[in-house]
Amino acid sequence: MSVIQVQQVSKSFENTHAVKNVSFDIPKGSIYGILGPNGAGKTTTIRMINYITIPDTGQILINGRKASAQTQREIGYLPEERGLYKKMKVGEQLMYLAQLKGMRKEEARNSIKGWLDRFDATGWIGKEVGELSKGMQQKVQFISTVAHNPDIYIFDEPFSGLDPINSELLRDVILELKSEGKTILFSTHRMEQVEQMCDFICLYRNGENVLNGNLTSIKQSFGKNTIILEFDGDHSFLSGMQDVRFNNKSNRSVEIIPDAGVNPQDLLVYAASHVTVNRFELIYPSLQEIFIQTVKQHVS
């Protein structure tokens, strides 16, 4: 069952065609990632799903009903531009936002306390938001998004401004929400996060959906065309490899993408003649590599 259906949606702002005839479905209980570079149309699409803006053409359905002010209550939305009131105390603000979503006072109080405890933030409840660091404000904004326990969550660049420890905490919470049967859509330009978390993806470029579907199936469709090479020795030998590209190159490892017709065994023999090879493995391409290949196809 599809919880969110985006059907041939387009949106323009004056001379800018932000979203161009985009369609995708988000299955219930899945994590769905919209990814692509800044300015690709991700946030515009999310705003239309949230009924903040309205499509010029096409339609968006939430649980089978057209997106509207009523469907907004079914969604917990973390916007890219954070919107907390800096002079308002954390506890008052969270209570106000939870009640806006229809929660009763006692219900809201219990939910907020539970989430503040989870984020080790109980001591912030009497502080003004403006007193908090950017990362702390991010946690408060996230709590305001999840406190009313909706079935759908939409996170726009949720990891922005978080250090690695808090990014890991937020990732764990999102995965827990999925395990509870929640449906999660998030937007990011950081493809490693999508690769770690998402069941389905929609890849944007210049307002268009250039690739979408099940992440595992997409990777398998590209085949095992990437080589992971780990080695000990002087990495300068890599400059002698012909008809290949490199990703994530370092002094001891590299991802190699051979051109069509290149025999990986020849690359192994060449590498072994220059360095000690600790790992040589054919794998499915990374999401970054899939993005590069897909964009090249749509440019040509």
Instruction: Say which CATH number the domain at 174 has.
Output: 3.40.50.300
pLDDT band at 193 (very low <50, low <70, confident <90, very high): confident
Q: Is residue 71 part of a domain?
A: yes
Q: Indicate if 29 and 96 belong to the same structural domain.
A: yes
Residue 299: what pLDDT? 58
Q: Is residue 296 part of a domain?
A: no
- Report d(CA 99, CA 102) in Å as an integer: 5
11 vs 161, residue with greater confidence? 11
Phi, psi of 189 (to 5 degrees): -105, 0
Residue 89: what pLDDT? 93
Residue 213: what pLDDT? 93
Q: 10 Å Cβ neighbour count for 34?
A: 31
- Report d(CA 70, CA 91) in Å as an integer: 26
Residue for token digits 């515009």?
Answer: 44
135 vs 34, residue with greater confidence? 34
Residue 253: what pLDDT? 94
Q: Is residue 299 part of a domain?
A: no
Residue for token digits 């999840």?
Answer: 146
Q: Is residue 84 part of a domain?
A: yes
| pLDDT average, residue stretch 205-234 | 92
Residue 17: what pLDDT? 92
Q: Is residue 290 part of a domain?
A: no
Q: Indicate if 166 and 36 belong to the same structural domain.
A: yes
Q: Indicate if 22 and 51 belong to the same structural domain.
A: yes
| pLDDT average, residue stretch 191-198 | 84
Listed in order, strand segments (DSSP E) in the chain are 2-13, 16-27, 31-35, 57-62, 65-66, 75-78, 152-156, 183-188, 200-205, 208-214, 226-232, 244-247, 253-258, 276-283
Q: Is residue 292 part of a domain?
A: no
Q: Please answer whether residues 144 and 101 qualify as being in contact, where contact means their C-beta atoms are separated by less than 8 angstroms.
A: no
| pLDDT average, residue stretch 256-275 | 94
Residue for token digits 């692509």?
Answer: 36
The pLDDT tens digits of the residues spanning 91-121 come to 999 999 999 888 999 999 999 999 999 988 8
| Length in residues, the chain | 300
| Lookup: tokens for 4 | 């969110």
- Report d(CA 265, CA 104) in Å as an integer: 66
- Domain end call among 163, 190, 213: 213
Q: Indicate if 165 and 52 belong to the same structural domain.
A: yes
| pLDDT average, residue stretch 250-260 | 92
Q: Indicate if 16 and 148 belong to the same structural domain.
A: yes
Q: Indicate if 152 and 204 belong to the same structural domain.
A: yes
Q: Indicate if 168 and 258 belong to the same structural domain.
A: no
Number of structural domains (the chain) is: 2
Q: Indicate if 41 and 171 belong to the same structural domain.
A: yes
Q: Is residue 128 part of a domain?
A: yes
Q: Is residue 126 part of a domain?
A: yes
- Which range marks the domain in which residue 75 is found? 2-213
Q: Please answer whether residues 158 and 186 qualify as being in contact, where contact means their C-beta atoms are separated by less than 8 angstroms.
A: yes
pLDDT at 38 over 90: no
Q: Indicate if 60 and 155 belong to the same structural domain.
A: yes
Residue 69: what pLDDT? 92
Residue for token digits 């992971």?
Answer: 228
Percent of the chain with pLDDT over 70: 99
| pLDDT average, residue stretch 249-267 | 92
Q: Are strands 183-188 and 152-156 parallel, antiparallel or unpaired?
A: parallel
| pLDDT average, residue stretch 230-259 | 92
Residue 288: what pLDDT? 82
Q: Indicate if 207 and 258 belong to the same structural domain.
A: no
Phi and psi based region of residue 52 (left: phi greater than 0; alpha: psi -120 to 50; beta: remaining): alpha
Nearest to 187 by CA among 54, 56, 78: 78
Taking the alpha carbons at both ends of the chain, their separation in whole angstroms is 36
Q: Indicate if 172 and 259 belong to the same structural domain.
A: no
- Report d(CA 294, CA 36) in Å as an integer: 11
The pLDDT tens digits of the residues spanning 168-178 come to 888 999 999 99
pLDDT at 300 over 70: no
pLDDT band at 23 (very low <50, low <70, confident <90, very high): very high
Residue 215: what pLDDT? 92
Q: Indicate if 209 and 145 belong to the same structural domain.
A: yes
